[in-house]
Amino acid sequence: MAPHNFDQQNLRKDNGLYDVISTIVAGDFHGFIEEIVGNTYGISRALFLGTIFCGLWMALWKMIPGLPLFALGWLIGTMPIWIVPACMASAWTWWMWYVHSWHEHSKHKILLEIKIPNSIVKSPRAMEAVFAHLDLGGQDNTFINRLWNGGFPPRFSFEIVSFGGDVHFYVWTWRVFKRSVEEALYAQYPELEIIEVEDYAMAFTYDPEKTKAVCWDWRLEPKNDAYPFKTYVDWELEDEVDEEYKIDPFAQVMETMSSMSPTEQGWVQIIITKNKDKAPGKRWFDTGDRFGQWVHEAVDKIRKETVLGAHPEPGDEKWRATAARLEQFHVGEVLRSIERNASKPHFNVGMRGTYMVSPTNTFSNAGFNNFRFMWRPFADEKYRNYIRHRRWHPPLDYAYQDLWDIRFNIIAKRFFDCYRRRGHFQPPWIFPHNTWSVEMLASVWHPPSRGVEAHGLERISSKKKEAPHNLPM
């Protein structure tokens, strides 16, 4: 069976023999497992560690013939010590899963399609106001609501979908927040048309015999979340008045999705919820902002390197400091972008996508790569962050990782279940997330202005309006 050739050159680091030996000599066991074993050779951490454990267990068993009974005896003998804490921890975890799932089940979900008019001239700053309006609290404001009722902040999913080059904008939400979404959008874009539609993801049935789907998450790399990517402010969309001269990186996304053939589909899902992450080191009853701590650490690090130079060593601090000061321009730009984004509302964000073809023999590496790399115009790899694909299918790159496409199809089925649920922050799907400001969100999801002329984006001539409520009878 040939490997799934997804062109992993930007995902895998080519570690040579010197890097392998250096990592082993340095005693960096974590780096050896993650970078050498996992990233370079594509062997999962569970398989590698499980193999080592089984080998050590067999060797020890050879030395101690009665090892299984000996270990079982110790396990039973020490049970009074560990059984109560283990049961309490397990019961608490399962209880929280249960109440969160019940709270989620009690909410009616809807999907709103956003019809884009051809008269929009506003910059993405208008969408910032929309996202800021949705920075809402949920039924988690009290101890009882959180731990007994399972309340948690509401989440919203902003989606862009291409059905064979026909591009659609959607917003998924709970029905109780439909009014909030409509108010926020109509306030900034009164020309829009918002209609409730059938959920395309629920109507889709994945059949690996008919459809090949490659799935992944997009994450911020390589720095922490305090560093943004290049937003619309960096592209100076605010400064340019004439639509014909505006350069919106979002136009590249629209063109990529519009250029899909009738056999292709591309789904993008951006799930957001209120940021309530605690800073590391805080006690369970303390409040703290992890994102704020990252911002302070990033700003202090940049300022320190600017004054002292990067990695000062005895005898050469002077030239390093001078060289660092020569780079004041980029330092100032990075600091301004970090502090500007930190001053705005921010959300926890999960971002995922899938590229599908039907029938399966029409799969194209070119189309797949164009879709997963379509966020490259927002990248600032050297000084800030960029949006990179991770998880789900990208790690499957070698033939021995997935014989007969068994793992590939299982992953795809799990992905579509997660996608339909719009899961990311609550059970049964909980994944690592990033923290984005409303400026970053508005850069990657906003109603395109009339200067974006993607042929697959159907625009309406005007918004449909009802008759005024105060007409004479």
Question: Tell me: the pLDDT tens digits for 100-130?
Answer: 888 888 889 999 999 998 878 888 899 999 9
**How crowded is residue 25: how many other Cβ atoms within 10 Å of its Cβ?**
8
Q: Is the pLDDT of residue 151 over 90?
A: no
CA dihedral 346→350→351→357, nearest 10 degrees, is: -160
Q: Is the pLDDT of residue 410 over 70?
A: yes
Instruction: Give the whole-angstrom CA distance, residue 117 versus residue 119.
Output: 6
Residue 216's DSSP bridge partners are: 353
Q: How far is CA 254 from CA 29, 104, 120, 125, 238, in A?
A: 44, 33, 15, 18, 20
Average pLDDT, stretch 439-454?
89
Residue 33 DSSP class: I
pLDDT band at residue 7 under the 50/70/90 scheme: very low
Note the pTM of the prediction, 2 decimals. Answer: 0.82
| Residue 127 identity (one-letter amino acid) | M
Greater confidence (201 vs 1) lies with 201
User: What is the set of domains in the chain, with CATH numbers?
Assistant: 12-84 (no CATH), 108-276+344-460 (3.40.462)
First to last CA, the chain: 74
Instruction: Give the whole-angstrom CA distance, residue 346 versus residue 387.
Output: 17
| Residue 173 identity (one-letter amino acid) | T
Greater confidence (465 vs 328) lies with 328
CA dihedral 391→393→398→404, nearest 10 degrees, is: 140
Instruction: Give the whole-angstrom CA distance, residue 182 versus residue 176.
Output: 12
pLDDT band at residue 219 under the 50/70/90 scheme: very high
Q: Is the pLDDT of residue 2 over 50?
A: no
Q: Is the pLDDT of residue 202 over 90?
A: yes
Give the residue carrying structure tokens 């060593």. Answer: 313
E-only strand ranges, 228-385: 264-274, 346-357
pLDDT over 70 for what percent of the chain? 82
| Residue 217 identity (one-letter amino acid) | D
> Assign residue 228 a region: left if phi > 0, alpha if psi is -120 to 50, beta otherwise?
beta
Greater confidence (138 vs 410) lies with 410
Q: Tell me the per-residue pLDDT of 235-257, one tens digit each, with 9 for 90 and over.
A: 887 766 666 777 888 999 999 99
Instruction: Give the whole-angstrom CA distance, residue 228 versus residue 299.
Output: 13
Average pLDDT, stretch 341-364?
91
Question: Of 289, 275, 286, which is closest to residue 154 (Cα–Cα)?
Answer: 275
Looking at the chain, the number of H-run helices and the number of E-run strands are 16, 12
**Contact between 189 and 120 (Cβ < 8 Å):** yes
Q: Tell me the per-residue pLDDT of 313-326, one tens digit each, with 9 for 90 and over.
A: 555 555 555 555 55
Res 319: pLDDT: 52
Peptide bond into 359 cis (omega under 30): yes
